[in-house]
Amino acid sequence: MHFPVPPLPQDCLAGRVILVTGAGSGLGAAAALAYARHGATVALLGRNEARLEQTYDAIRAVGGPEPALFPFDLGAADDAGFERLAQTVVYHLKGLHGLLHSAQTFFQLTRLEHQTLEQWQTLMRVNLIAPFALTRACLPWMLQQPDASVVFTGESHARSPGAYWGGYALSKGALEGLARIWDQELELTPSVRVNTLIPGPVHSPFRTRTHPGEAPAEIPAADAILPWYVWLMSPQSSAIHGQIVHCQPT
């Protein structure tokens, strides 16, 4: 669905702790910076510590609350690792109000017969299984809040799978189903809402890989869709549950 974003106060995320996966680059880093600009304390999660430090520095440069770095390999963690991660975030940051699943993995656009079992296992592990496991680990802490938000990042090609998108499209399509199930199972605990955000075509490292011949000026910049990221994490969207939200940059 298309939701217009209402005007948001600059401090609409003040006092909130938000965990962002894939926070070292791309839309994850951009979202983390936007959350900090609106007052949130951000837990930065990613495999590459050097990239997380760059996001950390960007947040501090704009005067945002001091974030915390959590180098973590989503593709290698087990149940105990996810639970320890959630506990560590809450211990250091004194709570958890939001979880943005922005991390993903992608190999290349190619025919199915050229995709390997190992690639499919990695795609499912990072794009689907890890978001399930991390949400499950974080949920008990988020249920302690009067208002908490889980946002899964969807993909337009997952909604209409086409040639060459293969395992990536199917893993992201299954993620959308996962979000729907979480929403239904949390129906009696409306303090935690679950939604899927579809960024659409936007200039990012991922878009450059999938559309290498596209000029950056032909598509919106990442900043154009950040209001939707902020809105879904803010109390202003507390009535939005179980929706697939399409960004509509102007």
pLDDT in tens, 51-68: 999 999 999 999 999 999
Any domain includes 90: yes
Any domain includes 7: no
Any domain includes 6: no
Residue-wise pLDDT for 223-249, tens only, equals: 889 999 999 999 999 999 999 998 876
Any domain includes 38: yes
Catalytic residues: 168
Average pLDDT over residues 12-37: 97
Q: In what order do the strands lie in the sheet with 41-46?
A: 68-71, 41-46, 17-21, 98-101, 148-153, 192-198, 244-246
- Judging by beta carbons within 10 Å of its beta carbon (0-12, 13-18, 19+), is residue 212 exposed, middle or buried? exposed
Question: Which structural domain, as residue segments, surrounds residue 214?
Answer: 17-246
pLDDT category, 222, cuts 50, 70, 90? Answer: confident
Whether 189 contacts 143, CB under 8 Å: yes
Range in 59-73, 93-107, 153-167 with the lowest mean pLDDT? 153-167
Number of domain units in the chain: 1
101 bridge partner residues:
152
Any domain includes 23: yes
Whether 99 contacts 151, CB under 8 Å: yes
* Model confidence at 250: pLDDT above 60: no
Any domain includes 180: yes
Any domain includes 10: no
Give the residue among 21, 200, 237 at the shortest CA–CA distance from 127: 21
CATH number, residue 100? 3.40.50.720
Whether 69 contacts 122, CB under 8 Å: no
The model carries a pTM of 0.93
pLDDT category, 155, cuts 50, 70, 90? Answer: confident
* Model confidence at 168: pLDDT above 90: no
245 bridge partner residues:
197
pLDDT category, 214, cuts 50, 70, 90? Answer: low
Any domain includes 4: no
